[in-house]
């Protein structure tokens, strides 16, 4: 079967030509998939019935999928297990607006780009399962299409399973479809892509996509970041920050943020706070402090609330705007760093 989901407007024009349809039929197919989120070619009712029958006979399908499992947290967060094109599974998380949230209604979908991950960060359960393959563009979009059928989304974060910039050839087409006028029409300001800092693909992402960027930092000290994140050996955070400092498209065109899991006595000390200020001085950015969520077989000490507040206040008072990210979905293993499909059946 050939999935229509994931095809851009030029590719859909090719399908239309193959089926003997006019070029504008490509936009009709795109509208059905990316705006109306249909799951079947039969639902594309403004296409001739003969063309729909021929498309199915020649192996075309929409390619949208439903989750194999849904888990719901006591705080309203939902985690979905989606099948992939190659018969594996990934997890996706929907985080609804929290009661009393200061920034108004914010309903976020956290999507995955790989089955497992090559980066093997010490604090992340996804890396512990190893790498088992890249998601296709259709796999990436299927998570969004299904969620939008019954849920209101305001933001998408590409922070689920995998290193997004290690699958850039499939991610960029997905971002294009998400933000295109003929596609899903999302503002790039509503989409954030996270990375450990793969320099070559980072530069390509910045050149080819206007979406926001989040960099996993976790320590401003080379030796310690290397212990937490093996990618530091090839992609030192100091080099990544200097590369980003040369860009002039942050703040006005896109937002730059740094993710920082706070560990007691390890990266929350006054020395670390001062080093963070030195590292990020003059860079238009924000820091998101994240609570440590315990995962099996990893012994790391989470910081106390007072430590997070102290670190936040120090950084903010020294010109580095800093927030503390609310912890959501921990009871269903859906919080930051907890996603895995290690034991999921195909």
**Which residues are annotated as catalytic?**
91, 336
Biggest alpha carbon distance in the chain?
70
Strands, E assignment, 196-295: 212-216, 256-262, 286-291
Which DSSP letter does residue 34 get?
I
The enclosing H or E element of 323 equals: strand 321-324
Sign of CA dihedral 35, 41, 45, 47: positive
What is the C-alpha to C-alpha distance for residues 50 and 61, in angstroms, rounded to an integer? 15
Q: Which of 224, 216, 221, 211 is nearest to 197 (CA)?
A: 216
Q: Judge whether 6 and 63 are in contact, CB under 8 Å.
A: yes
- Three-state SS at 164: helix
Q: Which residues contact 138 (CB under 8 A, 6 or more apart)?
A: 3, 5, 6, 63, 85
Q: Which of 214, 207, 140 is nearest to 173 (CA)?
A: 140
Q: Judge whether 145 and 43 are in contact, CB under 8 Å.
A: no
Tell me the backbone φ, ψ of residue 61, rounded to 5 degrees: -145, 160
Cα atoms in the Cβ-side hemisphere of radius 13 Å centred on 54: 12
What is the C-alpha to C-alpha distance for residues 211 and 184, in angstroms, rounded to an integer? 14
Q: Which of 210, 216, 285, 215 is nearest to 254 (CA)?
A: 210
Q: Which of 19, 65, 27 is nearest to 46 (CA)?
A: 27
- Three-state SS at 266: coil
Residue count of the chain, please give it.
346
Q: Judge whether 264 and 236 are in contact, CB under 8 Å.
A: no
């Amino acid at each position: 079967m050939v999935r229509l989901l994931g095809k851009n407007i030029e590719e859909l024009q090719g399908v239309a030509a193959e089926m003997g349809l006019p070029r504008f039929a490509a936009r009709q197919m795109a509208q059905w998939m990316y705006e109306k989120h249909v799951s079947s070619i039969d639902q594309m009712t403004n296409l001739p019935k003969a063309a729909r029958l021929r498309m199915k006979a020649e192996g075309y399908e929409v390619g949208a999928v439903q989750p194999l499992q849904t888990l719901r947290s006591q705080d309203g967060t939902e985690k979905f297990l989606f099948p992939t094109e190659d018969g594996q599974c990934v997890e996706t998380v929907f985080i609804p607006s929290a009661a009393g949230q200061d920034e108004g209604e914010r309903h976020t979908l956290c999507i995955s780009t790989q089955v497992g991950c090559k980066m093997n960060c010490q604090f992340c359960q996804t890396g512990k399962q190893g790498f088992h393959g890249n998601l296709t563009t259709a796999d990436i979009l299927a998570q969004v299409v299904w969620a939008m059928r019954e849920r209101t989304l305001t933001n998408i974060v590409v922070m689920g399973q995998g290193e997004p910039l290690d699958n850039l050839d499939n991610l960029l087409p997905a971002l294009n479809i998400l933000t295109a006028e003929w596609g899903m029409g999302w503002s790039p300001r509503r989409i954030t892509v996270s990375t450990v800092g793969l320099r070559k693909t980072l530069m390509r992402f910045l050149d080819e996509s206007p979406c926001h960027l989040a960099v996993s930092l976790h320590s401003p000290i080379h030796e310690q970041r290397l212990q937490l994140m093996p990618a530091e050996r090839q992609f030192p955070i100091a080099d990544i920050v200097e590369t980003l400092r040369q860009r002039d498209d942050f703040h006005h065109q896109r937002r730059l943020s740094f993710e920082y899991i706070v560990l007691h006595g390890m990266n929350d000390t006054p020395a670390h706070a001062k080093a963070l200020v030195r590292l990020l001085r003059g860079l238009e950015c924000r820091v998101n402090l994240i609570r440590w969520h315990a995962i099996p077989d990893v012994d790391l000490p989470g910081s106390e609330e007072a430590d997070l507040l102290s670190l936040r206040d120090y950084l903010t008072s020294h010109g580095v705007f800093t927030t503390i990210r609310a912890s959501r979905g921990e009871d269903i293993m859906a919080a930051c760093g907890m996603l895995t499909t290690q034991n999921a059946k195909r």
